[in-house]
Amino acid sequence: MFKTIEIPQHHLSIRQPIGLFISNEFVKSSDGNQIDTFNPATKEKLTSFYAGSETDVNVAVRAARTSYTKTWSKTSPEQRTDLLLKLASLVERDKEILASIETQDSGKPYYTNALLDIDMIIKLTKYFAGSTDKFTTGETIPIDHETLAYTLKVPFGVVAQIVPWNYPLAMASWKLQSCLAAGNTVVIKPSENSSLSLLYFAQLIVEAGFPPGVVNIIPGYGTVVGDALSTHPDVDKISFTGSTKVGCNVLEQSGKSNLKDVTLECGGKSPAVIFKDANLEEAVKWTSEGIFFNSGQNCTANSRILVQHDIFDEFVHKFKDYTKRKWNFGSKFDPFDKDCTVGPVISQKQYEKIQEYMTCPEGCPVEVSHIIDYPPDDINGYFIPPTIYTNVPQDSKWCKEEIFGPAVVISEFRDYDEALSLANDTSYGLAAAVFTENIRIAHEFARDILAGTVWVNTSNAEDVTLPFGGFKMSGIGRELGRTGVESFMQTKTVQINIRKPNS
């Protein structure tokens, strides 16, 4: 159940698991089907791994249920803390290996992206290790002199999790570590585009000492493994991160099966609003990084920048200049190159989807500016240069649809009311940013914008201690922070009659 993957840039030879991970063992899928995975920077095949079936999902859910009933539900907060701290230390030990796998499998620039993801995972795991006895307590509620009432926070039991390809191990860790801290067992599905890092991570789960069945990892296709988890009658909760379309399917499948609890973190078309009194250099820096980091493959990316009319031309000029200096493919078009800050997008499918936005039909007023050149023809890989759209109609696909690539729309507004109207003119509501030196406008915007996260004079500045989630079609529920644990627990009310008999 292992294959060797070479990472010549770091002289690494990695023993990569390729099997399904059930009850602390790597096993073949029931039907033997496999998925090929490719390096998006070269289009070269890395390896193949086993793809789960509905039968495999059933086996994994049974393993999770057995482990929860017999073992995991009886663990103390202290025991869960110790296991998570051990896991954090193992991630830190294998940091370079995990980051290298992420770079090979998803195209993330190693030094400016993949390593940062692993640092965040270490911090996150330690944070949730400390939460097991802090965010899991109930309360006593006074009713009257002869009644004792209190609440308990209890785990759901078996939780299914589905994670996307843009942050393979980071998004898995958002869900997994908080869910384990709350006392649940897990069946998790990574994306078929980027499963390798989570499969390697499974070895660290075993080494840390987690009992068999607590964590089960079933790679595979969404229409097979994802649907089987969403409809499974013995899954108590499902947590999904991905597209809004698939998130709607997950919610529907929950309702048609056993009404399992659902957390959804879906798409975004996040605005960044730049008022004329803003520090322009800071606004340029943060919004450029807010859209082009991770090749624009961020659900919170500020893909719509709204600039007040008075400073529009100056902002666009400075934005293009900063972007050209900051973002590049590196001289070798290799995400392991220290000079590489923009990697390839994940796949041929995603590349073609983004390319459809690059060409405007005849008569279309949209202006398209590629800040750096496309790679030469002899370079393989799904590289797309940072791209700016201006003169964009508000009702066009560039303003309405989530491109999920290194592409940004820059538009102008006249006053606060128009800025707010344009910012809220979307079916999404995941995040928003505002740049102003006026404290009244900053607070007013934070109050009025329909988004789950609002950044003031910064963008995409996330922290594991802060709750994260969206409004409208961007999702349901919250992850990270205290809510990251609480979302994986249910509240039970206990009412006790302490009145003396016959009194």
Catalytic residues: 265
Whole-number Å distance between alpha carbons of 399 and 305 = 10
Question: HEC states along 188-222?
Answer: EECCCCCCHHHHHHHHHHHHHCCCCCCEEECCCCH
Whole-number Å distance between alpha carbons of 189 and 162 = 5
E runs forming strands in 212-253: 215-217, 237-241
Cβ pair 275, 418 in contact under 8 A: no
Among residues 349, 307, 333, which one has the least CA distance to residue 385?
Answer: 333
Pairing of strands 271-274, 431-435: parallel
Among residues 146, 97, 220, which one has the least CA distance to residue 495?
Answer: 146
Cβ pair 342, 329 in contact under 8 A: yes
Please state, as a whole number, how many other Cβ atoms lie within 10 Å of the Cβ of residue 249: 18
Provide the 3-class DSSP secondary structure of residue 63: helix
Helix pair angle (196-208, 77-93), 10° resolution: 130
- Does an H or E element contain 47, and which? strand 44-50
Please state, as a whole number, how many other Cβ atoms lie within 10 Å of the Cβ of residue 438: 15
Among residues 485, 491, 488, 68, which one has the least CA distance to residue 237?
Answer: 488
- Does an H or E element contain 121, and which? helix 115-129
Provide the 3-class DSSP secondary structure of residue 269: coil
Using alpha carbons only, what angle is made at residue 367 by residues 362 and 371, rounded to the nearest 5 degrees? 130
